[in-house]
Amino acid sequence: MKGLFMKIALVTDSTAGLTNEEIEKNNIIVMPIPVIIGDKEYFDGIDITSEKLFQTQREGAAFPKTSQPSMGKMIELYNRLISEGYEAIIDITLSGGISGYNDTLKNIAKNNPEYHLYPYDSKMTVRLQGYLVLAAAKMIKLGLQPEKIIKKLDEIRDTIDELFVVDDLNNLSRGGRLSNASAFIGTMLHIKPLLTFKDRQIVAFDKIRSMKRAVSKIEKLALQRTAELSYKDKLRFFVFYSNDLTQAKEIESFISSNFPELPIDEAEFSPVIATHLGEKSVAIAWMIDIDKIDLR
């Protein structure tokens, strides 16, 4: 489409982990992701927390499942945005490798060109996705056109890396979110898989026989992977966890001692992500700090 977009709407999903203040300050629209437990449907960030999710499991509830916002709700939202004078819509979603949400938006965009919809696959989730959303918000305020925003988001996304450990593979294997789960089936007892995102999917690349050793391994790998980065002085680190704040604090302390000048975000996995990773999961991640780069 030719011409200058003067008014761009910014949409994302609830797994991005944005705060209410960030949402309001940047005029971001957040679509909650459904979590289904038995015959009940909950909405991420609205009426279910990770703590509540794990409690239902301890009480014997059915294995939780996740879905995606209905196409009807998305169409309704986009129609409203167009009626309010928005000339383009950027919708940044969780990884297309673990959800069909982004593909749904691509179909909507193809069949409804009047929306000028730009579905963007973060290839990630949690606050890593959230910072891509915040970067887009900054660029919208700077007056950049959607094509330039998407190009810049690609550059930022390429700096994202992450390492995580799950206490067991039950949730990932049952939920079908681990691409090479078959390599670990039968050896899951006491095995702590080391995982990362590759080609938008969660993959296990190593296995350690205790959580303590597994965490130590991803800490060392984080040091190794960041050591050669040309922008290592501009990194932002993240520690994510599922119902194990003590472990998260220990990892945060390790990162802080090795990178005392760099910011660290700490956050609990949202119910949607916790559904797939299970309790006691932890992660270390990093990306370029969007507050330290020129977004023009």
pLDDT at 204: 82
Return the ∠ at Cα 122 (arms to 32 and 138), rounded to 5°.
Answer: 85
Phi first, then psi: what are they for 225, rounded to 5°?
A: -70, -30
User: Which string of b and e fits 61-98 if b means at least 16 CB within 10 Å?
Assistant: eeebebebbeeeebeebbeebbeeebbbbbbbbbbbbb
User: For residue 57, is it within any domain?
Assistant: no
CATH of the domain at 232: 3.30.1180.10
pLDDT digits 0-9 by tens, 71-104: 999 999 999 999 999 999 999 999 998 889 999 9
Would you place residue 186 in the very low, low, confident or very high pLDDT band (cuts 50, 70, 90)?
very low
pLDDT at 172: 72
Pair 122, 186 in one domain? no
Pair 139, 227 in one domain? no
pLDDT digits 0-9 by tens, 208-252: 888 999 999 999 999 999 999 999 999 999 999 998 999 999 999
User: For residue 39, is it within any domain?
Assistant: no
User: For residue 208, is it within any domain?
Assistant: yes
> Percent of the chain having pLDDT more than 90?
74
pLDDT at 190 over 80: no
Pair 217, 132 in one domain? no
User: For residue 91, is it within any domain?
Assistant: yes
64 closest CA partner among 272, 282, 280: 272
User: For residue 40, is it within any domain?
Assistant: no
CATH of the domain at 128: 3.40.50.10440
270 closest CA partner among 246, 248, 249, 241: 241
- What residues pair up with 34 in beta bridges, in sequence order? 43
pLDDT at 200: 75
Q: Which of 95-104, 171-180, 200-209 is the least confident region? A: 171-180
Show the DSSP H helices in the chain as ranges.
Answer: 20-25, 50-58, 71-83, 101-111, 126-141, 146-157, 170-175, 211-227, 245-258, 271-277
Pair 194, 179 in one domain? yes
Q: Are 130 and 16 in contact (CB under 8 A)?
A: yes
Separation between Cα atoms, residue 42 and residue 56, nearest integer Å: 12
Tell me what the pLDDT averaged over the chain comes to.
91
User: For residue 191, is it within any domain?
Assistant: yes
Please say which residue of 109, 140, 157 terminates a domain: 157
Interacting residues of 263 by C-beta distance below 8 A, sequence separation 6+: 236, 237, 289
Separation between Cα atoms, residue 2 and residue 44, nearest integer Å: 37
pLDDT at 169 over 90: no
Pair 129, 241 in one domain? no
Please say which residue of 157, 185, 217 terminates a domain: 157
Would you place residue 278 in the very low, low, confident or very high pLDDT band (cuts 50, 70, 90)?
confident
Total count of domains within the chain? 2
Please say which residue of 157, 186, 211 terminates a domain: 157
On whether the pTM is more than 0.85, the answer is yes
Would you place residue 207 in the very low, low, confident or very high pLDDT band (cuts 50, 70, 90)?
confident
User: For residue 200, is it within any domain?
Assistant: yes
Pair 18, 106 in one domain? yes
Residue 182 belongs to domain spanning: 161-292
pLDDT at 2: 47
Separation between Cα atoms, residue 223 and residue 203, nearest integer Å: 20
pLDDT digits 0-9 by tens, 13-24: 999 999 999 999
Pair 140, 168 in one domain? no
Cβ neighbours of 245 (radius 10 Å): 11
pLDDT at 4: 54
Pair 74, 185 in one domain? no
**Residue 56, both tokens:** 């239902």
Pair 92, 168 in one domain? no
pLDDT digits 0-9 by tens, 121-154: 999 999 999 999 999 999 999 999 999 999 999 9
pLDDT at 202: 81
pLDDT at 201 over 80: no
pLDDT at 82: 97
26 closest CA partner among 46, 4, 10, 12: 10
- What residues pair up with 285 in beta bridges, in sequence order? 162, 238
Pair 177, 250 in one domain? yes
Sign of the dihedral defined by the CA atoms of residues 73, 77, 78, 82, in that order: positive
Pair 119, 216 in one domain? no
User: For residue 13, is it within any domain?
Assistant: yes
Pair 25, 125 in one domain? yes
> What's the average model confidence in pLDDT over 31-45?
93
